[in-house]
Amino acid sequence: MPRSEDHIAQSVTAVAGEGGVAVSYVSTTDRSSAWSIFLVVVSALIFSTGALFVRGLDHPHAWTTVFWRSVSASVSLLILIVWRERKNSLQVIAKMGKPGWAVGAAFSGASVGMVVALSRTSVAIVLVIYALAPLAAAVLAWVFIGERVRGYTWLAIVVTVAGVGYMVSGSGANGSAIGALIALIVPLSFGFGTVIIRRHSTIAMIPAMFLAAFISAVIALPFAHPFEVTTHDLVLMLAFGFAQLGVGLAIFAVGAAGAPATNVALLSMLEPIMGPIWVWIFMNEYPGVPALIGGTIVFTALVIHTLYVAWLAW
């Protein structure tokens, strides 16, 4: 993977998945390598298992889950940084500066928001709202750096908001609405991170992800009960962080670096699509008719929007 301290990103795009932001070092007109596409697909499928970890806990506690997940993800990402940078590992992290810490804080907000939201509403609702990150990034880029929001993007925003509104209109709407509001932290956080990286295109992504995990652990610790967990839950939470988040982010960063951002954005939609399917199959969590209809509306609008943007750029 090209190192962002040595290369300037060609495109920075928020994606509909836990990868959050696709930082690509190839032109939008370049072809993706088969290896890059494979890595992005693998990372999306790894990310899509996140809800299985949460639903598989015997005694779920959101903040305890955030803490142990973040600690183990920090270890996973630190190992990768040491492997890549050798003796310069601490220097790479130390020179992130304010923009790097800001991106880490943004990614931390998304990570914490996802786990807490899953404790308050269905997997389908959380992951569909997760998928709004590209549209949230467009609006935040307009607000903070003056990037114009095109008419077709505003139309996609209206349609997706309507779809999410319909999703939370079914039975148990009160709980769903609260969980949905918490879940909104995720796309807004990733959108904010996208804006920062566009302004500072040499930010090193893997160190930024490490900072995000570190910040999340620090935030969660005062509210967590880290030593009041069963062995089963501890193993599950550690795997949730080390493999699902840490390894998933590393694979995503490498794959996204070598693929045009539009391709990454489309392939990343596998995560919010497959996530509810896994818990439906393995945990018998039926998303409900409103979630199925609303989710279909949202993903149809996102796919059409992404393809139309790609066509305009071609």
At residue 8, the pLDDT reads: 56
Return d(Cα 52, Cα 5) in angstroms, integer: 36
Q: Are 127 and 272 in contact (CB under 8 A)?
A: yes
Q: Is residue 23 helix, strand or coil?
A: strand
At residue 115, the pLDDT reads: 95
Left if phi > 0, otherwise alpha if psi is -120 to 50, otherwise beta: which for 171? beta
Q: Is residue 11 helix, strand or coil?
A: strand
At residue 279, the pLDDT reads: 93
At residue 84, the pLDDT reads: 85
What angle (nearest 5°) sits at the alpha carbon of residue 225, between those of residues 76 and 189? 55
In the chain, domain spans: 11-146+174-283
What average pLDDT values come out for the chain (314 residues) when binned by 10 residues?
50 76 63 80 94 96 97 95 86 90 95 94 89 90 88 92 82 66 93 89 88 96 97 97 93 84 82 92 89 90 87 76
At residue 28, the pLDDT reads: 53
What angle (nearest 5°) sits at the alpha carbon of residue 259, between those of residues 27 and 14? 90
H/E stretch holding 258: none
At residue 30, the pLDDT reads: 55
Q: pTM of the prediction? A: 0.89
At residue 89, the pLDDT reads: 86
Could you tell me which of 116, 18, 50, 20 has the C-alpha nearest to residue 279? 50
At residue 257, the pLDDT reads: 82
